[in-house]
Structure 1
């Protein structure tokens, strides 16, 4: 059987496309773990220093990125994830457990954001003003809501219209 150049090129392209499509469904085996920010770490959206502001922080690990994208507030994280134009592959999303972390200077206590419970509309403020408090345990979220008000919800229950980003720079006298 004689194969011309065009047939060879088409066959090669077809094999490449098939390999690329089959790779899409495979897991890389890469385990994503939360990182810890330092005093010089800044929010990727607005450049605010993470260490200078109260309330829960967040990080998203996107495929193809060597470091996490940092957020100085969980509201920014939800805003990013819930945008219809967000098409990057998310490998991991982490927030801080505010039952254990110091509200005014939160460090550590990271957990998978998709497994958490959140309090929206409390009296506590984060770097962007109104924030979404994050908790690993639902009981801790309910206790927080009893003390500071707000609505308790799971990660998947948070909708784009619930995320308020209007508070940050308007109320920050340090900027």
Structure 2
């Protein structure tokens, strides 16, 4: 088997696993309330690196996993998508939220949580989040289009974002020695 076909197969398996995880989002009685987005505070830290979310600009995200009382928070939407799209993701996902940057302040985002699967995104803008280049999230396509017109980037839907667009291997400085 060639390296190319192995990578293609791995991506296909990762996408299939992600699809199954999102499809497993059937509500159990009394569970809907725990799926509501949770607001961040001064002590809310990122699932991946422990960074305090309130210390950094740009959109934040949260995943509600089945069997877990509190959501996993992410200080950046790139980290969120990398987590969701990586083939290693095996925990069943109940809900995913991002912030509507058409409503929230970029420099100090608070509130304005929206369903990540229904959001519209801008990839490749000049605006940076906590880890450098980020993916801006919006509830309204008009807001995303306006943002892309001002800061550059491409307007995408949730399903359009692929693993190769959210590489975390080099961190904020793209230092591949991490």
Category of TM-score, reference length = shorter chain: 0.7 to 0.9
Give the whole-Å Cα distance in 2 for the aligned partners of 1:113 and 1:146: 22
Give the whole-Å Cα distance in 1 for the aligned partners of 2:105 and 2:164: 28
Which position in structure 2 is the counterpart of 1:28? 28
Which position in structure 2 is the counterpart of 1:160? 163
Compute the displacement of 1:87 (Å): 1.3
Of 38, 41, 51 in structure 1, the residue corresponding to residue 41 of structure 2 is 38
Compute the displacement of 1:84 (Å): 1.1
Q: CA 1:40/1:147 → structure 2, altered by over 3 Å: closer, same or farther?
A: same
Give the whole-Å Cα distance in 2 for the aligned partners of 1:80 and 1:134: 16
> RMSD of the alignment, in Å?
1.6
Q: Is the 8 A contact 1:94 1:112 kept in 2?
A: yes
Larger radius of gyration: 1
Q: Does 1:77 align with 2:94?
A: no
Compute the displacement of 1:28 (Å): 1.2
Q: Secondary structure at the match of 2:117?
A: helix
Counting only pairs closer than 5 Å after superposition, residues 53-92 of structure 1 correspond to structure 2 as: 53-92=56-95
Most deviating of 25-34 and 108-117: 25-34
Q: Secondary structure at the match of 1:55?
A: coil
Q: Is the 8 A contact 1:62 1:90 kept in 2?
A: yes
Q: Does 1:135 align with 2:138?
A: yes
Which position in structure 2 is the counterpart of 1:108? 111
TM-score by length of 1: 0.80
Structure 1: segments with no counterpart, 5+ residues:
1-23
Q: CA 1:108/1:136 → structure 2, altered by over 3 Å: closer, same or farther?
A: same
Deviation string, structure 1 residues 128-174 (Cα, Å, up to 9, x no partner): 10100000111110000000000100001100001133343x49xxx
Runs of 4+ in 1 over 6 A off after TM superposition: none
Q: CA 1:25/1:94 → structure 2, altered by over 3 Å: closer, same or farther?
A: closer
Q: CA 1:26/1:117 → structure 2, altered by over 3 Å: closer, same or farther?
A: closer
Give the whole-Å Cα distance in 2 for the aligned partners of 1:64 and 1:26: 13
Q: Is the 8 A contact 1:83 1:160 kept in 2?
A: yes
Q: Is the 8 A contact 1:101 1:109 kept in 2?
A: yes
Q: Is the 8 A contact 2:127 2:133 kept in 1?
A: yes
